[in-house]
Chain A
Amino acid sequence: MNQTVEPGILKDATDITAMDAKKRYSAGVLKYRQMGYWQPDYQPKETDLICLFRITPQDGVDPVEAAAAVAGESSTATWTVVWTDRLTACDSYRAKAYKVEAVPGSPGQVFAWIAYDLILFEEGSIANLTASVIGNVFGFKPLKALRLEDMRIPVAYVKTFKGPPTGLVVERERLDKFGRPLLGATTKPKLGLSGRNYGRVIYEGLKGGLDFMKDDENINSQPFMHWRDRYLYVMDAVNKAAAATGEVKGSYLNVTAATMEDMYERAEFAKQLGSVIIMIDLVIGYTAIQSISNWARRNDMILHLHRAGHGTYTRQKTHGVSFRVIAKWMRLAGVDHIHAGTIVGKLEGDPLTTQGYYNICRDAHTRQDLPRGVYFDQDWADLKKVLPVASGGIHAGQMHQLIDYLGDDVVLQFGGGTIGHPAGIQAGAVANRVALEAMVKARNEGRDIVKEGPEILARAAQFCTPLKQALDTWKDVTFNYASTDTSDYAVTPAVA
């Protein structure tokens, strides 16, 4: 054995199938494919978890060996042979790369399909799942870059998770709002408002016609506004607006804090004040999310997740974890809302790719849909559905596009598009609500809203001055930039 080569690279190309156990487990370094992590004939079981990775191997590293290495490093392998493998049923514990294909239009990259036996994962634990499949392998030297593109979660594993505490169907029943997208706005400015001033924005937005207002991701408990102050003023605004309109209203109270104890304290106070919804940031971590989800389930609380931080690892196509995978994990972990992109707004979002995220949140059974970047059928086994949230740089003039792209089961959040209205926050809310209702009504009447949208809005603006002002103010605002994260799906011959 040559002990000086980099892990996984060996002169001898003997296949594992031709090796006897004594030779296989003798001390030294073997190619990963020789250790059993490459099994091209493997038929994944119904109970296997399957990952699709996009691998960019270092120059000179064979793609199949790279795929086998990813399988190995995300399951049982270490860089050298260990005799202690022989104390275990190690064949079960090895992940198996079983297919490698070139990525269409991306030289130097391959897609690798890897199957993991169910025994590898602790029931109901996103932390354990992720520690396995993305724990070590993303820093592995023989790879230039690695991205987890998609994951097929077997029904047997899905059933170990409780999923969203409320779910979009029950949320609608609790709020008494059906047949249209929900409307929200994030309170602006993000920072600096006192509790009293903050509540003013909440009241104006909700009375004007929004269903929800929202804390921003970095509103926690800073010197300018203690969290208790915020909650007290916000809930007065919520109740006052509910009485003024006869509708159920809510405001996402962000309970993100330094410790779980702090988060529970804040959530308890939100509950005591009668809030229908609390909010967390993705940066609190998977375990904290599952804990607060349990709390929300016990306390009839809708749980809103702001995906703060996700762009650091979801946006670049060659490295990280696709947001479609994060969306799957969050549906399992149990959140009721998740920010999933706007398509037309200021933040990253290819239309088809974004629709893929939405489908993952809302489908009973997600079907393979390559143009939308969905690589696997996913049976959700009746797990509750997550309500996606579209937020960031959207305005009333885009209502037809938003409804066409995103459908009814979505929260449309117009922050600047409400609070920045020239006639005030209530007027901004009215503009959005009228645009929304007019567009839903027109669509239901059979009108082609994509084509006729601007005309439908202009007609509604004839009886609604605030809508006219909104359309005039933002008519030319668009964010047309190329998306970095698009789907690569042309069918190509396998390289191995």
Chain B
Amino acid sequence: MMTNPAGRITQGQFSFLPDLTDAEITLQIEYGLNRGYAWSVEYTDDPHPRNTYWELFGMPMFDLKDAAGVLMELQNCRKTFPNHYIRLIAFDSTRGVESIGMSFIVNRPKVEPGFQLERQESVSRTLRYTTRGYAANAPEGERYGN
């Protein structure tokens, strides 16, 4: 059980708000589409803060301009990975940006055990820190009781 005020992993744009409904997610998707972003659905069972590459649930939807289509991909992903972390990511290909414009979590495991901080004592009172997910020791696909 994570003890931060949100009680869960707080990555993404909206982790401190009540879970977005599909209608609310649709509005966010539309906002991104209006800005010319391409949406992508990603999932993982390794939400380590420095795990950059979550798995792609299919290719980024560069040619999909319909929010309902993006939402359908998300629903497919939820069906396939109901107990994984899933996020929607919007890519902005504007010159000088060429990075991510939006990113928010839209599915979580029922239980989020969080992370352990390991400290290795070193010289002159310095410490080396390692962050390890409590669920990470189990093999992929078995970490959150799937």
* Chain A interface residues toward B at CB < 8 A: 169-170, 172-173, 176, 178-180, 207-209, 232, 235-236, 239-240, 242-248, 272-274, 364, 382, 385, 426-427, 429-430, 433-434, 437-438, 440-441, 444-446, 460, 463-464, 466
- Cβ contact within 8 Å between B11 and A246: yes
A46 to chain B, nearest CB (A): 21
Given contacts A176-B11, A243-B117, contact A364 B95 (CB under 8 A): yes
- Cβ contact within 8 Å between B101 and A178: yes
B16-24, B57-65, B67-75 - the one binding chain A: B16-24
Name the B residues within 8 Å of A232 (CB-CB). Answer: 125-127
* A-B contact list, 22 entries, CB within 8 Å: A169-B98, A178-B13, A178-B89, A179-B102, A179-B103, A209-B16, A239-B131, A240-B117, A245-B4, A245-B6, A246-B114, A248-B49, A248-B50, A274-B129, A385-B96, A434-B16, A437-B14, A437-B17, A441-B24, A444-B27, A444-B28, A464-B16
Interface residue SS majority, chain B: loop
Residue of A nearest to B100 (CB): A178
Cα distance, A364 to B28, chains bound together (Å): 26
A-contact bits for B68-104, CB 8 A (1 contact / 0 none): 0000000000000000000001100001111111111
Cα distance, A208 to B48, chains bound together (Å): 19
Residue of A nearest to B17 (CB): A437
Given contacts A239-B117, A437-B16, A437-B17, contact A179 B11 (CB under 8 A): no
- Cβ contact within 8 Å between A445 and B102: no
Interface centre among A173, A274, A445 (most CB of B within 10 A): A445
| The one of A169, A243, A430 that contacts B99, using a Cβ cutoff of 8 Å | A169
| The one of A239, A272, A437, A444 that contacts B31, using a Cβ cutoff of 8 Å | A444
Cα distance, A306 to B131, chains bound together (Å): 31
| The one of A180, A235, A463 that contacts B18, using a Cβ cutoff of 8 Å | A463
Residue of A nearest to B99 (CB): A169
- Cβ contact within 8 Å between B31 and A445: yes
Size category of the B interface is 35 or more
Residue of B nearest to A206 (CB): B4
Name the B residues within 8 Å of A445 (CB-CB). Answer: 24, 27-28, 31
6 interchain residue pairs of minimum CB distance: A246-B9, A179-B102, A243-B117, A444-B31, A239-B129, A243-B115
A-contact bits for B108-136, CB 8 A (1 contact / 0 none): 00000011110100000111110100000
B102 to chain A, nearest CB (A): 4
- Cβ contact within 8 Å between A441 and B5: no
Cα distance, A179 to B89, chains bound together (Å): 10
- Cβ contact within 8 Å between A244 and B13: no
| The one of B100, B114, B126 that contacts A272, using a Cβ cutoff of 8 Å | B126
| The one of A272, A382, A430, A460 that contacts B5, using a Cβ cutoff of 8 Å | A430
Residue B146 CB within 8 A of the other chain: no
Name the A residues within 8 Å of B137 (CB-CB). Answer: none
Name the B residues within 8 Å of A248 (CB-CB). Answer: 49-50
- Cβ contact within 8 Å between A434 and B27: no
Name the B residues within 8 Å of A180 (CB-CB). Answer: 13
Name the B residues within 8 Å of A243 (CB-CB). Answer: 114-117, 131
- Cβ contact within 8 Å between B17 and A244: no
- Cβ contact within 8 Å between B17 and A434: yes
- Cβ contact within 8 Å between B129 and A176: no
Cα distance, A154 to B102, chains bound together (Å): 34
- Cβ contact within 8 Å between B16 and A245: no
Interface centre among A179, A382, A385, A460 (most CB of B within 10 A): A179
Name the B residues within 8 Å of A209 (CB-CB). Answer: 4-6, 10, 16
Name the B residues within 8 Å of A236 (CB-CB). Answer: 119, 127
Cα distance, A438 to B18, chains bound together (Å): 10
Cα distance, A242 to B90, chains bound together (Å): 24
- Cβ contact within 8 Å between A208 and B99: no
- Cβ contact within 8 Å between A207 and B100: no
Name the A residues within 8 Å of B114 (CB-CB). Answer: 243-244, 246
- Cβ contact within 8 Å between A242 and B126: no
Residue B56 CB within 8 A of the other chain: no
Name the B residues within 8 Å of A364 (CB-CB). Answer: 95-96
Name the A residues within 8 Å of B52 (CB-CB). Answer: 176
Residue of A nearest to B37 (CB): A179
Cα distance, A242 to B99, chains bound together (Å): 23
Additional pairs, 11, CB under 8 Å, beyond known A239-B117, A427-B5, A460-B17: A173-B100, A178-B102, A207-B4, A236-B119, A239-B131, A273-B126, A364-B95, A433-B10, A433-B16, A438-B17, A464-B16
Name the A residues within 8 Å of B125 (CB-CB). Answer: 232
